[in-house]
Structure 1
Amino acid sequence: MDGPVNGSNFNLRDEIKAYWSERAATFDQSPGHEIFSEEEREAWHRLIARHLGAGQGRTALDLASGTGVVSLLLDDLGFDVTGLDWAEPMLERARAKADAKGRRIAFRLGDAENTMEPDNHYDVITNRHLVWTLVDPEAAFAEWLRILKPGGSVLIVDGDFVNATSFGRLIQQLASIAQRLGFTPSETAQLPQQLVETHRNILSRVHFADGARADAVVELLRKAGFQDITIDTDLRRIHRAQAKHMDFWKGLARGSQHRYAIKATKAT
């Protein structure tokens, strides 16, 4: 799955890195990426604190930290945060945000599937919308277990972005009808068509090409050695806040999607 493309040494991981590097310039323009209200920020704080508790100076590694959204949330809660991302343009924006807010967050270049971090080093690991892009999640989860301290936890926020629910499909149909009848304008694509096609091509070749269902993620976490695994699908506060900054149909669909937070713990 991660072999050379067209006989070159540019493999799938390289393609993913290049894609997110190009996305960095407009990443924060999308609801669901950046946070656009204090209501949503508070909802994220509640979710993180519910699973990880107060920071109290504990060490946190935010994997695929992107422009630093989750890293800043962790810093809000009192964690000692390191953000790791392998797209330098994302890191540049994350550092600028942290500097503007006077935050002491270390943002470093690195691969979430092979972090090069020390054994038993972090109290918590977080990531948002990373797992669905993993080329080898089984190896990645083993890596995360290695760098967590005994008793440490990982919090994964992700979803199945491939398969729509029956309600989601109904919303798509109604949105299409409304646009054809002229009741709502066609949504202007936020990404150039080339990037849309690149995204689809990458998605078709990652491990979770058929959708990152929570139970499949849990199975691989258990296989890696994680314990006390819980699935939380109550992300309604976050989704309601995000929907206020989306068009009507996209906002309505957000709450119908299979999105979740998974917490898993390393044995003491």
Structure 2
Amino acid sequence: MLGTHANSHLKEDIRDYWSRRSETFDLAFGHRIPDGPEFDAWAAAIRERLGPAPRRVLELACGTGEVTRLLLSLGHEVTALDFSEAMLAVARRKHAGARGLRFLLADAENPMEPDESYDAIVCRHLVWTLTAPERAFSEWYRLLKPGGTLLFFDGDWAAPTRLGRLASRAIAAIDRIVGADPHYDGAMSDRHAGIMQRLPFGDGLTAGRVLPLLEAAGFRDMAVGSHAPIAAAQRRTADLRNRLRTLLYRRFILVASRPPAPAAPS
């Protein structure tokens, strides 16, 4: 585990890194969720796991508000949390006047919201950045109502798949011919790599590593799903370089539940 001092410095580095990217973040492939096949695929993945009924949702690490848009489109009441003021500023502009939406500047690992206040917690590409995952999962469990759902989308950004290694070489060749993508900051950039080296999941986030931690926090009914339908939808509208990027890493969808409250004796 990281010491408190090291943890504090790491969090500030994480905040600064993503704050600096806030104004151009939506220009990087894989962050913006455009209308059409990709939006529909993300919406289907969320609907399948949260159900059709409107729920009170805490979205952690909302960034520029792309998943926020999905959740609102499905009729949910959303508290969108991020600890970067710069990211929240972009999200607020994007969703000015939206109903059923509240923004919250806070740390996703310690949201400081009331006990049992949400029907669901949703996040995308957050879990790999957790500096204290055991504590974070315990906090998220606390925030969920009995019977509530944790849903997150993430991946192993430390180790490209076998096909991903081939795709990486093809992307490098495209970069040499047409020039590097100025908005794509992949997992091998110096700053990104420097942060990863200090994270508990920096050497790879897999479902196998995270499931025991969720169980220890109290979660049950855990299930791991495939990210493949979303990646396939991304490839339908992407150029060759970005189609190749969908092959780089092993991604997954994980859902878990806080058990329902015991039935009252009759």
- TM-score higher than 0.5 here? yes
Q: How does 1:27-38 map to 2 (within 5 A)?
A: 27-38=25-36
CA distance in 2, matches of 1:35, 1:175: 21
Query: Equivalences for 1:1-268 in 2 at 5 Å?
Result: 1-4=2-5, 11-56=9-54, 58-99=55-96, 102-176=98-172, 184-190=177-183, 196-233=189-226, 235-244=227-236, 246-255=238-247, 257-268=249-260
**Stretches of structure 2 lacking an aligned partner (at least 5 in a row):** 261-266
**Cα drift, residue 223 of structure 1:** 1.4
Tell me which amino acid in the other structure corresponds to 1:252: L
Does the 8 Å CA contact 1:36/1:245 hold for their aligned counterparts?
no
- Alignment deviations for residues 59-93 of structure 1 (CA, whole Å, 9 cap, x no partner): 10000011111112111111111001000111111
- Deviations along 1:109-154, whole A, 9 cap, x unmatched? 0111001010111000000000010001111000000010000010
* Runs of 5+ unmatched residues, structure 1: none
- Contact 1:159-1:259 at 8 Å conserved across structures: yes
- Could you give the per-residue CA deviations for residues 8-54 of structure 1, whole angstroms, max 9, x where no partner exists? x9611111111111111111112211112321111111000111112
Is contact 1:31–1:242 with CA below 8 Å preserved after alignment? Answer: no
Q: Tell me which amino acid in the other structure corresponds to 1:242.
A: Q
Cα RMSD between the aligned structures? Answer: 2.3
2:215 maps to amino acid: R
Taking the aligned partners of 2:5 and 2:73, their CA distance within structure 1 comes to 41
CA contact (8 A) 2:37 2:234 kept: no
Shift of 1:247: 4.1
Task: Say if 1:177 and 1:15 are closer, same or farther in 2 by CA, change over 3 A.
Answer: closer
> How many angstroms apart in 1 are the aligned matches of 2:19 and 2:217?
29
CA shift in 2, pair 1:34/1:103, >3 Å: farther
SS at match of 1:25: coil
* Contact kept in structure 2, 1:236 and 1:255, CA below 8 Å: no
TM-score (norm 1): 0.88
Aligned residue type for 2:225: D
Shift of 1:179: 5.9
* Higher mean displacement: 137-146 or 89-98: 89-98
3-state SS in 2 of match to 1:220: helix
Q: Structure 2 length normalisation: TM-score?
A: 0.89
* Structure 1 match to 2:263: none
CA contact (8 A) 1:55 1:74 kept: no
Amino acid at match of 1:73: L
